[in-house]
Structure 1
Amino acid sequence: MHGLALGEAFSFDSLVEVIEKRRGRSIRIVELEELGHEASLCALLVELEAEDLIFHAPTESQLHRQQFVLHEIAHLILGHIDGEELRVPDFLLPDIPPATRRRLLRRQNLNDPHEVAAESLADHLAAAIRLSVTHDSRFVEIFG
């Protein structure tokens, strides 16, 4: 977190802006009804050519939404995206890009070191955001 130069407490907006600048692309966050019910996933990170998309399952808890999104942001910070070694046959999930399929299947293993690291970083990010005095943020705008 020190490499992000956000200080000890920061807003959700500040975090997103720093990650967007660092990656040179925007981040779009979208609630997706089907994610929780049909896919049994909390959130999903998709890297497109021009932007990063973070889809999250609906929940009534603002803290759950925050954790879902921060976990995916942690994967961006830690560089846990695309081009990794797990091979997934093309006939499985044919409409999803191969790198995304690999990432999805790997994330089903909660003991995976990438998942543990992302969840730990998401916890640290959430704690820092809670310390922030600024509550007027994009997080509140997006999630209410």
Structure 2
Amino acid sequence: MTKAQHKRQALSQDDLITRYGYLLSVIPRGVADHAHVEVFGELSRTQREGLLEEVVPLLPEAWGAATSEDPQTLAALMRDVLPRDAMLHSEIGGAVANRFIASAPVAAYFTAGAGSVSIDQQPAWVQALIDHESNPIDAGNMHHRKGVNSGHWF
């Protein structure tokens, strides 16, 4: 299966939620916040309001007063497991998880951020997000001139 075919393959709601949870466990909170802000910003105001209508009744009363449809407020709300779980079980939870997984902040973390150091240890689906080749053609030998890797300088 090529990477293009892998990307086109539709994932189940459970798979999306599992991948979303995995990413939340390996990326820093700041990256997750940026990704959530991006994702919630892509939703229409109506979608964000609908999300709140589904999520707020499932939260303790103290949380309901602190909610707003603003993308940054929603992103901050996702730091806690209760609202995040409620969001994932909402009507658009799968779409939010899917957008989060494919978001620019997540991709940047694994291409140029600290996550790029450990990308070879990430699952294949994470590597596919950024089109990472886990097995370089030269098996790690970047220098092909005589002397650079052999210790013979002259």
Scaled by the length of structure 2, what TM-score is found?
0.30
Q: Which has the higher strand share?
A: 1
Decide which structure has greater helix share. Answer: 2
Higher Rg of the two aligned structures: 2
- The alignment's TM-score, normalised by the length of structure 1, stands at 0.31
